[in-house]
Amino acid sequence: MNKESFLIKNLSGGYQSGLIIKDISFAVREGGFTSVIGPNGSGKTTLLRILSKVLQPRDGTILLESEDISKICLKDFCKKVAFVSSDIAVNFPFSVWEIVSMGRIPHLKRMQQEKKEDLAAINAALVMTDTAHLKDKSLDEISAGEKQRVFIARALAQEPQIVLLDEPTSHLDIGHQIHILDLLTKLNREKKLTIIMALHDLNLASQYCDQIILLDNGKIFKSGPPEEVLTYQNIENVYRTTVVVKENPLNSKPYVVLVPSDCKK
Ligand SMILES: Nc1ncnc2c1ncn2[C@@H]1O[C@H](COP(=O)(O)OP(=O)(O)O)[C@@H](O)[C@H]1O
Ligand SMILES: [Mg+2]
């Protein structure tokens, strides 16, 4: 049986103003590729913030390789888990190199300079994300799509076992969307990197992920492999819009076609 990376049991949490995530339970196996989908405001970002220790849960437990994450100190947690937030605003003009180097902080002792293996990890992350040519630029001199790749590079420089990504392709053109998702797939297959990401695009979730968690108003409406989750009934119930679900002839995965109102009979 596969080992579990994350085991989430009866998790609830949110903000002072209200509970957003309501009694959620699921498991992500080691080397799994999971996406969290759901309408705007359904709680995807909040769930990732709780899983990455940015927000404390109100109730329930999160086990990371059988250990309760509330008992793991942040530095040790960050050696294993990296988080790529969708919020790419930075209020200081760090260079790309400086941002990506920050990924090494969990691995360094206090005041310690980067060693050879740290520099190698930073350079590898820059090359993998196609950002090496930007390394001396300041973050305020590059585009939103380039910034998104730089923050993914920082997470990869961290050399985590699990990476959590919040809508990692939202600012990317289709070429770079495929480039990043293909890169994550390669790391997932070759390095057994466990991936959990919130995605807007149902078809990208279907093509790339082995498990999909469909959130509706902070609860799991359905979770499982793409063909069980991406049925037209589930999508219509949660997104309240009409769709047609076909099969991608290249890989038999579900393919969601949007239906504009004037196409309906
Ligand atoms: N910092 C915050 N403080 C209070 N409420 C928030 C905060 N961030 C998000 N919310 C609320 O939590 C709900 C879920 O938001 P979010 O997790 O961002 O959803 P999603 O990522 O699926 O669009 C929304 O109703 C949103 O208004
Ligand atoms: Mg969000």
Residue 264 has pLDDT above 80, yes or no: no
**Structural domains in the chain (count):** 1
Q: Which atom of ligand 1 is nearest to the CA of 166?
A: 21
pLDDT of res. 114? 82
**φ and ψ of 7, to 5 deg:** -125, 115
Distance 62 CA to ligand 1 centre (A): 20
CA 183–ligand 2 middle distance (angstroms): 22
Report residues near ion ligand 2: CB below 5 Å: 44-45
Classified as helix, coil or strand, 80 is: helix
220: containing domain:
4-263
45 Cα to the center of ligand 2, angstroms: 4
Number of residues written out for the chain: 265
Provide the token pair at 253: 């995965």
User: pLDDT at residue 244 above 80?
Assistant: yes
DSSP label at residue 95: B
Specify the ligand 1 atom closest to the Cα of 16.
4
pLDDT score of 265? 60
Question: Which ligand neighbours the alpha carbon of 43 most closely?
Answer: 1
Q: Which atom of ligand 1 is nearest to the CA of 218?
A: 14
Q: Is 38 in the pocket of ligand 1 (CB under 6 A)?
A: yes
Using one digit for the tens of pLDDT, what is the confidence trace for 83-133?
A: 999 987 777 889 999 999 999 999 988 777 888 999 999 999 999 999 999
Report the CATH number at residue 216: 3.40.50.300
pLDDT at position 115:
87
- What residue's CA is closest to ligand 1, atom 2? 15
Minimum-distance ligand to the CA of 38?
A: 1
Chain centre to alpha carbon of residue 221: 19
Instruction: Provide the angle, in degrees to the nearest 10, between the axes of the packed helices 144-157 and 174-190.
Output: 10
Distance CA 68, CA 66 (A): 7
- 109 C-alpha to center of ligand 2: Å? 33
What's the pLDDT score for residue 3? 79
Mutation probe of ligand 1 site: the residue of 11, 45, 86 with most atoms within 8 A of C-beta: 45
Interval between CA 113 and ligand 1 midpoint (Å) = 38
Question: Tens digit of pLDDT for each residue in 60-87?
Answer: 999 999 999 999 999 999 999 999 999 8
Distance 121 CA to ligand 1 centre (A): 34
Neighbours of 101 (CB within 10 A): 21
Contact between 164 and 152 (Cβ < 8 Å)? no
How do residues 166-221 score in pLDDT, each as one tens digit?
Answer: 999 988 899 989 999 999 999 999 889 999 999 999 999 999 999 999 999 999 99
Instruction: Tell which residue, 221, 138, 131, 219, has the closest CA to residue 183.
Output: 131
For the residues 1-12, what does the mean pLDDT come to? 87
Kindly state the tokens that stand for 58: 């109100």
Ligand 1 contact, 20 CB (< 6 A): yes
Digit-coded pLDDT (tens) for 8-32:
999 999 999 999 999 999 999 999 9
Q: What are phi and psi of 173, to 5 degrees?
A: -70, 165
Tell me the pLDDT band of 161, cut-offs 50, 70 and 90. Answer: very high
pTM for the model: 0.95
43 CB near ligand 1 (under 6 Å):
yes
Q: What is the pLDDT of residue 185?
A: 94
Enumerate the β-bridge partners of residue 8: 26, 62
Positive or negative: CA dihedral 164, 169, 170, 172: positive
Q: Is the CB of 46 under 6 A from ligand 1?
A: yes
- Structure tokens given for 205: 């979730």
Burial bucket for residue 211 (CB in 10 Å: 0-12, 13-18, 19+):
buried
Q: Is the CB of 85 under 6 A from ligand 1?
A: no
- CA of 170, nearest ligand number: 2
Query: Is residue 242 a contact partner of residue 259, using CB atoms and an 8 Å limit?
Result: yes
* CB-count burial class (<10 Å; 0-12, 13-18, 19+) for 236: middle
Mean pLDDT of 145-150: 92
Pairwise CA distance, residues 87 & 18, whole Å: 21
| pLDDT given for residue 263 in this prediction | 78
State residue 96 phi and psi, 5-degree precision.
Answer: -60, -45
Beta-bridged to residue 67, according to DSSP, are 64
**CA torsion through residues 72, 78, 80, 84, sign:** positive
Q: What is the pLDDT of residues 230-239, one digit of tens each?
A: 999 999 999 9
**Arithmetic mean of pLDDT, 32-42:** 97
Contact 218, 22 (CB under 8 A): yes
